[in-house]
Amino acid sequence: FNCSRNNRRNTKILMSANEIIRNFAIIAHIDHGKSTLADRLIHKCGGLADREMKEQVLDSMDIERERGITIKAQTVRLNYKAKDGKNYILNIIDTPGHVDFSYEVSRSLSACEGSILIVDSSQGVEAQTLANVYQALENNHEIIPVLNKIDLPAADTEKVKKQIDDVIGIDTSHSINCSGKTGEGVDDILESIVKNLPSPKGSISNPLKSLLVDSWYDSYLGVVILVRVIDGSLKKGMKVKMMSNNTEHTIEKVGVFTPKPQDIDKISSGEIGFIITGIKNLSDTKVGDTICDVSNPIDKPLPGFKPSKPVVFCGLFPVDNSEYQKLKDGLAKLKLNDSSFSYEPEASSALGLGFRCGFLGLLHLEITSQRLEREFDIALITTTPGVIYKINNRNGSVKELQNPTDMPDPTQILSIEEPWIKATIITPDQYLGSVIKICQGKRGSQKNITYSGNRAVLNYELPLNEVVFDFYDQIKSVSSGYASFDYEITGYKEGDLVKMGILVNTEPVDALSMIIHKDFALPQARLVCEKLKELIPKHNFQIPIQATIGGKIIARETIKGYKKDVLTKIHGGGARDRKRKLLDKQKKGKARARQFGKVKIPQEAFIGVLKINKNS
Ligand code: GTP
């Protein structure tokens, strides 16, 4: 009798506990103002004192601040006293807006019940807005549309509301106009969160069931595990089990981010917080795992997440070979907090020792290589990005290929398949023609066009290989920055693909080989040969540069033999100085040049060729 009365009492406490919790994500296209609004909400709810407020407090990494983009999703817990007089707990998850990081978005969304959808009222609905809304709907989220940046003269809330109706199809009758900059409308957002978003379900009296939302390495706290408790409670000293691998751990610390980490006694059903266990390696925490109580285990884990898979690959090599170990250490450190990229050692006859790395997309690649250069002080060469091809061999075997140098002999290949994407591009209609032209030029096939006012929503199928080069930059540039792009991978299709090799003085140079569509091979071959002719210095003999497909030469340039001494030409004022400078330069050039047979190819030649690939 006592026990059931206790249970009843617990249930009652729980009901009121859950009723005052609201867990929500802020979703938006890049730059529409998520982090700024999150700052406002934190400030309003007193999460940080005035002097502690820096702009975009949730963007903690330097690169995030500098580039103004959110990479890792962040969480913060706030106390809010609503107009109904009750004190609420609000858990905000700030999410990254860029297409490369949509995996982080989906993770954050599964930890909450509602989303605030921000649309910049001077820009309108963008491709990522759509993608994020679909993800939120998949997670059964209640959505509050917020029209942001109303302080801007170009803001047109009525037009953008209509777009939200037309393009996304969600109800805008409860939408809120706001400015993260001036703070206008922020109170209305807080009230709407409390009124319109559902409180979490679950019960504190059930056995512990919690979701491992994210984990990262913090130099101060060690491995931090972000959890959403569905049922029961997590307390200090408790023994818990990771259901994916049955490992048991004792909880050393329980806390929440306010946004500063703050220890508390326990986190219970409906809440989001962090735990610290004895786990030392991030690889022992599996994002999406279910954590339960060792003394009162549950049978069925939560559904978890699909693991993220790298789709864009490239080689990263130190410019100076002696920095190989530094690069290796840097990659290992970055990997600690970014499980979505992969790397393995690669040896290239041209570039020396380096790593073949896999990324979620080009921005992910760019940011990772920038962090390596900046945080670890390593000068890097990045080879042409590529995708994973499926090679169907004549003997029936299938090979996954992500490095052109590993391509089997063409006579053994039956067919090659490449990944395709479904792309959504949203653009003001005056740029539609140019955007379509780019898509066609990248072997795209148009699936659909719809309009809302003067905005066109374009659906295309495209090979990922064509998109990884510079598709996004091109789309941005022809639309003066107004078009937006999002994609998902749909599957593999057979393609007329070939490996183009480059011979310098009849020696193959692996680092310059690439997999390319047959139709694009000839112009590309010519460009590469011309570039190499320009960038490889003359030797005292003639050097043929050839591009080949399956042993057949398709383009050729020749570097003429060189007879005269460079220095004899330098006369006149300051000649000695200039001579010394030139000699120094030659010395440096030599240090970075690689020997291919009798020919030395300077590093700049490799970089030059990689650049034409990116800009072709
Ligand atoms: P990501 O994290 O990269 O996805 O961007 P975000 O959506 O978090 O955008 P962020 O908050 O970083 O804001 C982008 C830019 O818009 C910044 O320069 C902000 O200062 C500016 N901004 C945000 N809100 C407002 C607003 O209400 N009015 C005006 N005028 N500018 C704003």
The mean per-residue pLDDT over the stretch 35-50 comes to 80
Is residue 363 in contact with ligand 1, taking CB distance under 6 Å?
A: no
Nearest in space to 129 (alpha carbons), one of 56, 30, 24: 30
Å from CA of 591 to ligand 1 middle: 45
Å from CA of 35 to ligand 1 middle: 7
Peptide bond into 345 cis (omega under 30): no
Q: Residue 402: what pLDDT?
A: 81
On the question of pLDDT at 326 being above 90, the answer is yes
Give me the percent of the chain exceeding a pLDDT of 90: 44
Protein residue closest via CA to atom 1 of ligand 1: 69
Backbone angles phi, psi at 559, to 5 degrees: -95, 120
Protein residue closest via CA to atom 13 of ligand 1: 33
Q: Residue 595: what pLDDT?
A: 65
Nearest in space to 89 (alpha carbons), one of 208, 225, 267: 267
Q: Residue 416: what pLDDT?
A: 95
Specify the DSSP element, H or E, that contains 209: strand 209-218
Joined tokens for residue 45:
């709810």
CA distances from 504 to 510, 536, 537, 558, 597 (A): 11, 10, 12, 10, 9
Q: Residue 584: what pLDDT?
A: 59
Is residue 40 in contact with ligand 1, taking CB distance under 6 Å?
A: no
Protein residue closest via CA to atom 21 of ligand 1: 33
The mean per-residue pLDDT over the stretch 236-263 comes to 91
Å from CA of 375 to ligand 1 middle: 26
Angle between helices 518-535 and 603-615 in degrees, nearest 10? 140
Q: Residue 162: what pLDDT?
A: 92
Q: Residue 386: what pLDDT?
A: 83
> Which of 1-5, 68-72, 142-146, 306-310 is predicted with the least confidence, judged by mean pLDDT?
1-5
Contact 166, 456 (CB under 8 A): no
Q: Report residue 31's pLDDT band, with 50, 70 and 90 as the boundaries.
A: confident
Å from CA of 36 to ligand 1 middle: 5
On the question of pLDDT at 62 being above 70, the answer is no
Q: Residue 120: what pLDDT?
A: 96
End-to-end CA distance of the chain: 78
> What are the start-end ranges of the E strands in 110-201?
114-120, 142-148, 176-177
Å from CA of 31 to ligand 1 middle: 5
Burial label for 184, CB within 10 Å (0-12, 13-18, 19+), is middle
Specify the DSSP element, H or E, that contains 582: helix 575-592
CA distances from 373 to 236, 314, 369, 382, 579 (A): 40, 16, 6, 11, 32
The contacts of residue 361 (CB under 8 Å, 6+ apart) are: 98, 99, 100, 311, 312, 468
Q: Residue 574: what pLDDT?
A: 56
Q: Residue 232: what pLDDT?
A: 95
Is residue 361 in contact with ligand 1, taking CB distance under 6 Å?
A: no
Å from CA of 598 to ligand 1 middle: 55
Is residue 36 in contact with ligand 1, taking CB distance under 6 Å?
A: yes
**Cβ atoms within 10 A of the Cβ of 483, count?**
26
The contacts of residue 421 (CB under 8 Å, 6+ apart) are: 461, 462, 463, 464, 467, 487, 488, 489, 490
Q: Report residue 355's pLDDT band, with 50, 70 and 90 as the boundaries.
A: very high
Is residue 170 in contact with ligand 1, taking CB distance under 6 Å?
A: no
Where b means 16+ CB within 10 Å and e means fewer, 278-299 reads ebeebeebbbbbbbbbeeeebe
Angle between helices 464-478 and 603-615 in degrees, nearest 10? 70
Within 13 Å and on the Cβ side, how many CA atoms surround 57? 23
Q: Are strands 507-508 and 497-504 parallel, antiparallel or unpaired?
A: antiparallel
For the stretch 257-281, pLDDT in tens is: 887 788 999 999 999 999 999 888 7
Q: Are strands 114-120 and 21-28 parallel, antiparallel or unpaired?
A: parallel
The mean per-residue pLDDT over the stretch 424-430 comes to 91
592 or 325, greater pLDDT: 325
The contacts of residue 503 (CB under 8 Å, 6+ apart) are: 509, 544, 545, 546, 547, 548
Is residue 28 in contact with ligand 1, taking CB distance under 6 Å?
A: yes
3-class state of residue 244 by DSSP = coil
Å from CA of 273 to ligand 1 middle: 26
Å from CA of 33 to ligand 1 middle: 3
> How far apart are the C-alpha atoms of 457 and 460, rounded to whole Å?
10
Å from CA of 567 to ligand 1 middle: 56
Q: Are strands 413-428 and 445-452 parallel, antiparallel or unpaired?
A: unpaired
Look over the chain and give the mean of its residue pLDDT values, rounded to a whole number. Answer: 83
Protein residue closest via CA to atom 26 of ligand 1: 149
The mean per-residue pLDDT over the stretch 470-482 comes to 82
The mean per-residue pLDDT over the stretch 290-294 comes to 95
Q: Residue 100: what pLDDT?
A: 61
On the question of pLDDT at 610 being above 90, the answer is no
Tell me, what amino acid is at 394? R
Within 13 Å and on the Cβ side, how many CA atoms surround 246? 1
Å from CA of 532 to ligand 1 middle: 43
Nearest in space to 194 (alpha carbons), one of 96, 280, 108, 88: 88
Q: Residue 285: what pLDDT?
A: 85
3-class state of residue 477 by DSSP = helix
Is residue 95 in contact with ligand 1, taking CB distance under 6 Å?
A: no
Q: Report residue 88's pLDDT band, with 50, 70 and 90 as the boundaries.
A: very high
280 or 391, greater pLDDT: 391
36, 69, 74, 116, best to mutate for ligand 1 pocket (most atoms within 8 Å of CB): 36
Q: Report residue 359's pLDDT band, with 50, 70 and 90 as the boundaries.
A: confident
One-letter-per-residue 3-state SS of 429-461: HHHHHHHHHHHHHCCCEEEEEEEECCEEEEEEE
For the stretch 554-598, pLDDT in tens is: 999 999 887 655 555 555 555 556 556 655 555 554 445 566 677
Q: Report residue 8's pLDDT band, with 50, 70 and 90 as the boundaries.
A: very low
607 or 331, greater pLDDT: 331
Å from CA of 270 to ligand 1 middle: 30
> Which of 42-56, 270-284, 513-527, 541-555 is predicted with the least confidence, judged by mean pLDDT?
42-56
Q: Residue 337: what pLDDT?
A: 67
On the question of pLDDT at 72 being above 80, the answer is no
On the question of pLDDT at 65 being above 50, the answer is no
* Number of the ligand 1 atom closest to the C-alpha atom of 178: 27
On the question of pLDDT at 170 being above 60, the answer is yes
Is residue 149 in contact with ligand 1, taking CB distance under 6 Å?
A: yes
Q: Report residue 466's pLDDT band, with 50, 70 and 90 as the boundaries.
A: confident
On the question of pLDDT at 615 being above 80, the answer is no
Is residue 209 in contact with ligand 1, taking CB distance under 6 Å?
A: no
Q: Which residues pair with 595 in a beta bridge?
A: 600
Angle between helices 102-109 and 127-138 in degrees, nearest 10? 30
Q: Residue 73: what pLDDT?
A: 47
> How far apart are the C-alpha atoms of 588 and 585, rounded to whole Å?
5
Q: Are strands 114-120 and 142-148 parallel, antiparallel or unpaired?
A: parallel
- Per the listing, tokens 């998109």 go with 467
> How far apart are the C-alpha atoms of 56 and 33, rounded to whole Å?
10
For the stretch 157-169, pLDDT in tens is: 999 999 998 888 8
Tell me, what amino acid is at 37? L
30, 31, 177, best to mutate for ligand 1 pocket (most atoms within 8 Å of CB): 31
